[in-house]
Amino acid sequence: MNPRKLSGLQKDALRLYRDCLRAIEKKPEESKARFQAFARHEFEKNIASLRRTDVKAIEHLLRVGRRRLEQYQSPNVRDITIV
């Protein structure tokens, strides 16, 4: 049984998601669930709107996601809501 190899973009997306989950662990206990829900919502929203072959859009979303992650990692950001 051969496990399917992931493309570079798939690996990047998984790495970003794992980094988000790691960053959430550093947030206050009372807001961790909201941060998790937000991260999941953002990934699911973008998965539904993209084709696998749309490389430029995926690369753009990965860059946007990295920038957002840097912003949300700030100790000043203590809570988040999904709009």
Task: Please tell me the distance from the alpha carbon of residue 37 to that of residue 70, in angstroms, as a whole number.
Answer: 18
Closest C-alpha among 3, 9, 5, 2 to residue 60: 9
Q: What gap in Å lies between CA 23 and CA 43, rounded to an integer?
A: 15
**pTM confidence score:** 0.86
Closest CA to 65 of 82, 37, 46: 46
List the chain pLDDT tens, one digit each, 83 residues.
567 888 899 999 999 999 999 999 999 999 999 999 999 999 999 888 888 889 999 999 999 999 999 999 999 999 998 87
